[in-house]
Amino acid sequence: MIVGLGLIAPFFIYILSGVIAQILLRHGADQQRWLDAFVFYLALPALLFQSVRTVPPGAESLVGFLAVTTTMTGMMFVIGWFIGRGNQAEDHRAVFGLAASYSNIGYMGPALTVAVLGPAAGAPAAFVFCADVLLIFTIWPMMIGDGTGGSARLWQSMRKVITHPFILATIAALLFASTGWSLPKFIDTPLTGFQHAAAPAALFSLGLTLARNRGGHVETRLGACLAVKLIIHPLAVALAFMLVSGFDPIWVATAIIMGALPPAANVYVMARAEGISVALSARAVLYGTLFSAVTLPVVISLFA
């Protein structure tokens, strides 16, 4: 537990720094957009590319690995969906589903797993990200639709997936890995610099967002969804890999840690974009991140 806390503490210090900066400076979301652009288009894509550009051990079982992890994510969404049924505030059930299933696999996942497990965790983290984003962005438009424009919503979501910088970086890295080439130093050096900036910048940005969206109480249904996300999700992933064995231990550990991550900031972004259950989504991200400061070290201590 102490070891896990020591490994994860820097990540929460980055988040806390962003929270403090937002409280002191009181900048609006528009003033954050250039930092987000740096993280979204440069830093995290560089981290993913650098992690995947050499063919990693365990890649031969990629399809089976992603079948297990993605199935578990889908199951957590369904559980969250049923938890959200009939809530008195009439919050949308799909937001409860996101809170229970959609991990912070972009801003926290790759950087945290690499810090805990070493560079070999970068590739499976990138692959889990791609598969989970594809799943979530397929489920979301179908769950919030009212029967009209469903195909248009789905196409818009698929276009976002196809053009997502993280997914493009992973595909580019896989293509590069297949060539057997090595990067020239004048390209490798800046990519490595962007890679190292990914975790501080991404988590500082997350802290800014959390500080602007302070929530109210944690109602019973939201608390149940957060318990599913932070406790049931990693346990389910671990159990699944006990039943379906034969995978690289680093890949399995990566999948479990990714499952233990708090709800993604995208839960709030997606709800706000649709104008549904915005306050609920903000509470899910805020309290999920806070509670994960207790649950994540426990999970990480199993592998540290």
What are the pLDDT tens digits along the chain (304 aa)?
665 677 788 899 999 999 999 999 998 888 899 999 999 999 999 988 998 887 666 678 999 999 999 999 999 999 999 999 988 878 999 999 999 999 999 889 988 998 899 988 999 999 999 999 999 988 888 887 655 555 676 787 788 888 889 899 989 998 998 888 899 999 999 999 999 999 899 899 999 988 987 667 889 999 999 999 999 999 999 999 999 989 999 999 999 999 999 999 889 988 988 889 999 999 999 999 999 999 999 999 888 6
Rounded to a whole number of angstroms, the distance between the first and last alpha carbons of the chain is 9
H/E segment holding residue 100:
helix 93-101
Q: Which of 283, 264, 289, 144 is nearest to 220 (CA)?
A: 283
Q: What angle do CA 198, 203, 204 make, to 5 degrees?
A: 105
Provide the β-strand partners of residue 103.
263
pLDDT at position 216: 73
Phi/psi for 55 (5° steps) reads -60, 115
- Distance of alpha carbon 170 from alpha carbon 278, whole angstroms: 31
pLDDT at position 81: 96
- Enter the tokens of residue 50: 């650098």
Burial 55-87 (b: 16+ CB within 10 A, else e): ebebbeebeebbebbbbbbbbbbebbbebbeeb
pLDDT at position 60: 80
Q: Which of 172, 153, 174 is nearest to 163 (CA)?
A: 172
Q: How far is CA 163 from CA 18, 134, 138, 159, in A?
A: 28, 12, 15, 6
Rg (CA), the chain: 18
212, amino acid identity: R
273: left (phi over 0), alpha (psi -120 to 50) or beta: alpha
In three-state secondary structure terms, 86 is coil
